[in-house]
Amino acid sequence: MKVLPEEVIKAWEEKSGPVILTTVDESGKPNSIYATCISRYDESTIVVADNYFDKTRKNILAGSKASILFITKNGTSYQVKGSIQLHSEGKIFDDMKKWNPAKHPGHAAAALTVEEVFSGSKKII
């Protein structure tokens, strides 16, 4: 398991606006969504609340890998890639329920485990 470098952790704290979460279906067709209900769980896991997933949920359950793209307030972009799992109970799910706004259902927590990180075309890990 890889961990987010300090550069990326600092950039995460300076992210601006929603992130883009991308998964792929079994035929390789990508699906991207904007996500605003998102948090860093630990040094190697980023969690997106499954509030209204449809294709994204199907893709994750079919074994899709995923990427999260975000931009900092100064305009630097980062892309975190890795495996993704849905949690509908347990520690990760319970943590998501703490920060996900009460107005959203929080059906599950989609947890991306860091495998690669890029800033533009530069591979960081």
Q: What is the pLDDT of residues 10-48, one digit of tens each?
A: 999 999 999 999 999 999 999 999 999 999 999 999 999
DSSP β-ladder status, 108-119 and 122-123 = antiparallel
pTM assigned to the model: 0.95
How far from chain centre, in Å, is Cα 112? 5
Contacts of 26 (CB under 8 A, 6+ apart): 62
- Please tell me the distance from the alpha carbon of residue 26 to that of residue 116, in angstroms, as a whole number: 21
Task: Give per-residue pLDDT as tens, 41-77.
Answer: 999 999 999 999 999 999 999 999 999 999 999 999 9
Cβ neighbors of 90 (< 8 A, separation 6 or more) are none
Mean pLDDT, to the nearest integer, of 82-99? 98
Domains of the chain: residue spans and CATH: 6-120 (2.30.110.10)
Q: How far apart are CA 102 and CA 41, in angstroms?
A: 19
CA–CA separation, 112 and 67 (whole Å): 8
Query: Do residues 48 and 21 touch, judged by C-beta distance below 8 A?
Result: yes
Q: Tokens 């979460």 identify what position?
A: 21
pLDDT tens, position by position, 92-101: 999 999 999 9
